[in-house]
Chain A
Amino acid sequence: MYEILKNEVLGSNIYLFEVKAARIAAKAEAGQFVIIRLHETAERIPLTIADYSREKGTITIIFQAVGASTRELAEYEAGQKILDLVGPLGVPSEIENYGTVVCIGGGVGIAPIYPIARALKEAGNRVISIIGARSRDLLFWKEKMAAVSDELLIATDDGSEGRKGFVTDVLKDLLEKEKIERVWAIGPMVMMKAVANTTRPFAVKTIVSLNPIMVDGTGMCGACRVAVGKETKFACVDGPEFDGHEVDFDLAMKRLAIFKDEEQRILAKGQCGGGCGCH
């Protein structure tokens, strides 16, 4: 059992949990994730390690309550325990001193981009970060991001904060202005696809972190398979980071939608409390 030490609301429907997990904290690196299972009948869901403290033996996860499992997680309070937590999974980000790099976090993707930006900064890079969301109430960790960036740029779809528009608009200007060595982008699949399309003409290597459906997270089931270049990869063990110019995003998006009907059904069950006998 893994105790939740802190439950904080970061924005509309966005939550931060700090969880006691000393062994995972001891090994965690930027770019890795955990899989949690809340209780006996829950599903296994992957969440990025947004931060960790080796001293305190804790990890931080940030998530958006989008469906049944994440909404249920959101109900948990500090002091309560999660049944299963396993990690750190996936291959850590490739951190080196590249020169000038851009880190892009869209929506809840701001959380996983943070440890990467921090590690890149610590490795000596000049880090320009771009964070974006639909509107300002979905933005979080501005100060934390600013602290690990040489420059922090903000974009919102509705212009309620920073520049009105997409993160890709900001990125395009940067690419035209100066030499960028590498780009990291984490956020919704459509955003990562758009970022890859923006950097392609500039031939700037772009790393994206894919979030396919997973079950075990150890390379055993193949649910997480994604097409990268000509090959099929298992995101949980070969990724989750891949070269964005090689990823088949359209396939990845279709695969994410496979359980749409079931997601609706289980949400409906949650809303009527289940005990009604209507299903």
Chain B
Amino acid sequence: MSLRKSRVEMPAQDPKERVKNFKEVALGYTSEMAREEASRCLNCKNPLCKKGCPVEVDIPEFISALKEDDPARAAKILKNKNNLPAICGRVCPQENQCEMHCILGKKGEPVAIGRLERFVADWEREQVNLKPEKVETINKKVAIIGSGPAGLTAAADLAKLGYQVTIFEALHVPGGVLMYGIPEFRLPKEVVQQEINYIKKLGVDIQVNFVVGKTATIADLLEEGYDAVFIGTGAGLPNFMNLPGENLNGIYSANEFLTRTNLMKAYLFPQYATPIKIGKKVAVIGAGNVAMDAARTALRLGAEESYIVYRRSAEEMPARHEEVEHAREEGVQFLFLTSPVAYKGDEKGHVRAMTCQKFALGDPDESGRRKPVAIPGSEFDMEVDTVVVAIGQGPNPLVPRTTPGLILTKKGNIQADEETGATSLPNVFAGGDIVTGAATVILAMGAGKKAARAIHRYLQGIEK
């Protein structure tokens, strides 16, 4: 096979069809496609790609196994480092992680590492379903708070070392944002649950319906015999803009809109009992991944028009390029340099219109992006009947409020060492969005991995 400059395309559902269903958009490689893409990898002696992977996946090794048509070995290599490969292969921002460093990216397109990872993980789940190896147990207990990617990763790595691990999760299913936030059409919930089942097979006990800070505090858990605690509670507190009329009916936080749809399956109402009200014309405020997910979900729920309303311009959008493209293909419309200043409702208290202001781009701000400056007198009204506010989340205060001695940052995040997750309390570690603020699945997993290592050292009496 001659070396191709561009990567093998991954088939996807036709945009016209997929906007009517919640099934997965990207369909994944076939074995032939995977082998062809794998053959592009140079198996570098000094693989730069590895530097970009926070969970240290042995990238050239697993790709080599694929090249040799041995997906079983590829899966083993992959799962050795990555406990959630089918998830990462789907939602990892690969272009900023492993793929950004791939040597092939210098002259052409980098190896599609994420797509290959997805292929291997899906193959393994469907074909062999690897059983974890038995390990010698260590008679020490670790409590993990939150079952998002950070908590799951820390739990799995500690279980692999032999610790007795219990995850405490506030919601009725584990998975965190993977279950309640990221939509079915990007990350099927079945895939998430199967990856979590693997973690359970490692011996991890998961207790759902358990809100730490309410059902029990961290002090209670330590008293009950846990030797160390990892906090991975995520960034789950939705921000609002405090605009007049923001509490009108029909105005949701992205978290509420997506939780009703994903976690509670409101798209199957009334078969599932949780309702969601969707209008004809939906405006989503913000332009990150969460906003794209909300705008695309709105179309699938039956909205006629779905708008992204963003106060900066197309270049500054924080969402992944691929997500923006998918949204565009499905018919999501973009209103740039625009932001709401007030909402107007009808007599029943339902939103009917949004007063917006236009912006122009001024000088760059601290983030290096050009700062939006309001244009005086540019206000106009836009009719809408559903609004989704997707302007970010802050740290949930339930655990900090009930854990004396836990030092927080100015923004209310938990202060923790970047390399170890160590907090101001000796036996308490933290990582993921609760430490960094809303970030990515893979960074949360990386933090979970580092913390697991540090907890191991701590419990072996090595050092903190």
Task: State how many residues of chain A have any CB contact under 8 Å with chain B.
Answer: 43
A215 partner residues in chain B, CB cutoff 8 A: 256, 259-260, 264, 274
The digit string for B369-390, where 1 denotes a CB below 8 A from any CB of A, is 0000000000000000000000
A227 partner residues in chain B, CB cutoff 8 A: 247
Q: Which residue of B lies closest to A270 (CB)?
A: B270
| Contact (Cβ within 8 A) A259 B277 | yes
| Contact (Cβ within 8 A) B348 A254 | yes
A86 to B212: give the CA distance in the assembly, Å: 11
B238 partner residues in chain A, CB cutoff 8 A: 220-222
A237 to B209: give the CA distance in the assembly, Å: 16
| Contact (Cβ within 8 A) B349 A88 | no
Pick the interface stretch among A35-43, A108-116, A134-142: A35-43
Q: Which residue of B lies closest to A263 (CB)?
A: B275
User: Which of B240, B268, B277 has a CB less than 8 Å from the CB of A222?
Assistant: B240
Query: 9 A–B contact pairs at CB < 8 A?
Result: A41-B265, A43-B272, A44-B264, A44-B274, A86-B170, A87-B215, A219-B237, A226-B247, A254-B349
| Contact (Cβ within 8 A) B210 A86 | yes
| Contact (Cβ within 8 A) A265 B256 | no
The digit string for A204-229, where 1 denotes a CB below 8 A from any CB of B, is 00000000000110111111011100
| Contact (Cβ within 8 A) A83 B237 | no
A279 contacts partner chain B, Cβ-Cβ < 8 Å: yes
A269 to B269: give the CA distance in the assembly, Å: 11
User: Which of A89, A220, A257, A259 has a CB less than 8 Å from the CB of B236?
Assistant: A220
Q: What's the count of A-B pairs with C-beta under 8 Å?
A: 122
A41 to B171: give the CA distance in the assembly, Å: 15
Near A by CB (< 8 A), chain B positions 233-270 give 236-238, 240, 242, 246-247, 249-250, 252-253, 255-256, 259-260, 264-265, 268-270
Extra pairs beyond A41-B268, A237-B398 (13, CB < 8 Å): A23-B216, A215-B260, A216-B170, A218-B236, A218-B396, A219-B398, A220-B237, A227-B247, A255-B247, A261-B277, A262-B275, A263-B275, A266-B275
A43 to B259: give the CA distance in the assembly, Å: 12
A interface vs B, CB < 8 Å? Answer: 23-24, 27, 37, 41-44, 68-69, 83-89, 215-216, 218-223, 225-227, 232, 237, 251, 254-255, 257-259, 261-263, 265-266, 269, 279
B interface vs A, CB < 8 Å? Answer: 170-172, 180, 208-211, 214-216, 236-238, 240, 242, 246-247, 249-250, 252-253, 255-256, 259-260, 264-265, 268-275, 277, 348-350, 396-398
Q: A215-B260, A219-B236, A255-B249 are in contact. Are A42 and B242 (CB under 8 A)?
A: no
A254 partner residues in chain B, CB cutoff 8 A: 249, 348-349
A6 to B265: give the CA distance in the assembly, Å: 31
| Contact (Cβ within 8 A) A41 B271 | yes
| Contact (Cβ within 8 A) A88 B215 | yes
User: Which of B250, B264, B270 has a CB less than 8 Å from the CB of A269?
Assistant: B270
A218 partner residues in chain B, CB cutoff 8 A: 170-171, 211, 236, 396, 398
B270 partner residues in chain A, CB cutoff 8 A: 262, 265-266, 269, 279
B216 partner residues in chain A, CB cutoff 8 A: 23, 27
| Contact (Cβ within 8 A) B255 A222 | yes
Q: A218-B398, A255-B249 are in contact. Are A232 and B209 (CB under 8 A)?
A: no
| Contact (Cβ within 8 A) B259 A220 | yes
| Contact (Cβ within 8 A) A69 B273 | yes
| Contact (Cβ within 8 A) A232 B273 | no
| Contact (Cβ within 8 A) B275 A232 | no
